[in-house]
Amino acid sequence: MNFLDIRTIYFVVGFLNFLMPMITWVSMTSDRSRPTHLWCIGGLGFGFGGVLIAIRGAIPDWISFTVANIFILSSLLMRSHALRIELSLPRRHLTMVGLLIVYILVFEYIRLILENDLLRLQWGLLNLFMGSYYLAQLAWRISIQERSANARWIAIVYFLVSIGFLVRCIDMTFGNAPPDILINTSAGLKSMFMLLISSVVEHIGFIGMSLEKSIQQKIQLAATQARQQENRLLSEQIAQLDRPRSLGEMSASLGHELNQPLTAILTNAQVLR
C-alpha cells in the first residue's frame, strides 16, 4: 500500500489516535481528571472513525458513513468539553448532544433522501471546520489565561486542521476535486498530513498543558504555605513583644491600686500621731 494513498493515511491517523491517547493516559497517572478522560476518549473516537472511513467499501455504508461521522464529531465535542472544563466555562451536555443529533439527521437526510454526495461532503467538512476552529479558540484562550505554551501549540495545530477542512470543502464546491474524500487530491493529502501531525502534537501539548497546570498549583500551594508560616511567625513575635507591655500595664495597675490604701493608712497614722 502506497503511503501517499489517502486510505493509508486514514489508517495511520486512526492508529495514531489509538496510540497517543493511551500514551497520554499512562503518562498522566497522577492527574487523571475529568478533562483527561474526555480528551483521551475523544482521541480514541477519532481514531475509530478514521479507520472506519479507511475501510469504506469493505463494510456496510451505514457504518463507514454514519457511525464513522458519529465517532469523529463526538471526538471534537468531547475535546471541546474538556477544554471548557479547563476554562471553568458552563458545561453544556444537552447542547452537545443536540448538536450531534442535528448533524446526524441532516447528514442522513442528504445521504439517503437527496443522495447528493457533494452536499453531504460539504455538510461534513463544514462541521469539521467549525468544530476544529472552536477547539483552536478554546486552546488559545487557555494559552492566554494560563500563559501555556503547550495550549498555544494545540491551538495552532487545530487552526491549521480547520483551514485544511475548509480548503477541501472549497475545492469540492468549485469542482477542483471530486466529491470523495478517499480520492487522492493535493488538498486532501495536505489536510490528512496536517491531521497526522496534529494527532501527535495535540496529545503531547495536552500532557504538557496538564504538567504546567500541576506545577503552577504546586507553586501556588508553596506560596500559600509560606504566607501562612510567615503569618504564624509574625503572630508569635507580636505575642512575645506584647508580654512585657502587658506586664507593665499590670504593674502600673497594681501600683495604682496599692498606692491608694497605703496613702490612706499613712494619712490616718499622721492624724493619730
Give the pLDDT of residue 125.
Answer: 93
pTM of the model: 0.80
In this predicted structure, the answer to whether residue 240 has a pLDDT above a threshold of 70 is: no
Residue 261 belongs to a domain: no
Give me the sign of the Cα torsion angle 151, 83, 70, 42.
positive
Closest listed residue to residue 201, CA positions, set 43, 72, 68: 43
Position 271 in a domain? no
Whether the pLDDT of residue 98 is over 80: the answer is: yes
Give domain status of residue 212, yes or no.
Answer: no
Q: What is the pLDDT of residue 122?
A: 93
Q: Is residue 165 one of the residues assigned to a domain? A: yes
Q: How many domains does the chain contain in total?
A: 1
CB 191 within 8 A of CB 158: no
Buried residues in 220-248 as b, exposed as e (16+ CB within 10 A): eeeeeeeeeeeeeeeeeeeeeeeeeeeee
**Dihedrals phi, psi of 87, to nearest 5 degrees:** -90, 0
83 in any annotated domain? yes
Domain membership of residue 266 (yes or no) is: no
pLDDT exceeding 90 applies to what percent of the chain? 38
Task: Show Cβ contacts of residue 74 under 8 Å, excluding neighbours closer than 6 positions.
Answer: 42, 45, 100
Give the residue among 171, 185, 71 at the shortest CA–CA distance from 128.
Answer: 71
Q: Cβ of 196: how many Cβ atoms within 10 Å?
A: 14
263: in domain? no
Cα–Cα distance, 89 to 74 (Å, whole number): 19
Q: Tell me the pLDDT tens digit for each residue of 43-83.
A: 999 999 999 999 988 999 999 999 999 999 999 999 999 99
